[in-house]
Amino acid sequence: MSRTMLAVAAALFFAAPATAQTRETLSRASWSCWMTSLVGDPGGNLVLNFEQDAGLFASFYIEIPQGPDVISVEFDATGSWTISGSVISMQIGAIDLIGAWVNDEELDADMKAGLEEDLGADLASFSGESASAYIADHAMVLEEPDTSISCWRA
In three state form, how does the secondary structure of 12-50 look? HHCCCCCCCCHHHHHHCCCEEEEEEECCCCCCEEEEEEE
Query: How many structural domains is the chain composed of?
Result: 1
Overall pTM surpassing 0.75 (yes/no): yes
Buried b (16+ CB within 10 A) or exposed e, 104-132: eeebeeeebeebbebbbebbeebebbbeb
Decide which of 59 and 23 is more confident: 59
Distances 98 to 32, 53, 74 between C-alpha atoms, Å: 18, 25, 5
Angle of the 109-123 helix axis to the 2-13 helix axis, nearest 10: 40
Distances 109 to 12, 92, 97, 114, 116 between C-alpha atoms, Å: 28, 24, 11, 9, 10
Res. 94: pLDDT tops 50: yes
DSSP state of 104: T
Distance CA 103, CA 68 (A): 9
Per the CB < 8 A criterion, the answer to whether 5 and 35 are in contact is no
Residues paired with residue 61 on neighbouring β-strands, in sequence order: 45, 74
Q: What is the pLDDT of residues 6-44, one digit of tens each?
A: 544 544 444 443 334 678 888 999 999 998 888 888 889
Confidence of residue 146 (pLDDT cuts 50, 70, 90): confident
CATH of the domain at 69: 2.40.128
Res. 56: pLDDT tops 90: yes
Tell me the residue range of the domain where 111 lies: 2-152
